[in-house]
Amino acid sequence: MPEDNDPGVMAIEAHEDFLEHVERGGSKIRSLSRVTVPVASLLTISYLLQLVVFPFLLGVRAQTVDLVDPTLMAFEGGLLAATLAWLYVGVRDYRFTTKLTRQIKEIRELQDQIERTITGT
């Protein structure tokens, strides 16, 4: 029977702790991404409407502000860039954690299979 300070046992325990940590963190990131992606998408559409559709396609030049004011357009362009970055990070994190969750599930199944092989059940 291996000792508790056996490097192999310590590596397996560290691996198990890591998998549990990733599973907990992945769930939180996916939940956050489910909120981030729709909000960032809505903001992206809103900024595109204000920057392109209203002033150039519909000809609306002023509501309570001049929509083609360079300062306003630069500010909204900066907000649009930040929103697109936010959207990119949300989608990337969601895809990463989904892939990682699938891989961890496969690892768990392999662990169960190895355990059954070792115990003979």
Q: Mind listing the pLDDT tens digit for each residue in 42-85?
A: 888 988 888 889 889 898 887 788 888 999 899 889 888 888 88
Is 17 contained in some domain?
A: no
Assessment of whether the complete model's pTM goes beyond 0.85: no
Residue 47, C-beta contacts closer than 8 angstroms, at least 6 positions apart: 76, 79, 80, 83
Is 25 contained in some domain?
A: no
Residue 85, C-beta contacts closer than 8 angstroms, at least 6 positions apart: none
Q: Is the pLDDT of residue 2 over 60?
A: no
Number of domains in the chain: 1
Which element (helix H / strand E) includes 86?
helix 70-119
CA 73 to chain centre: 29
Is 11 contained in some domain?
A: no
Range of the domain at 86: 32-37+68-121
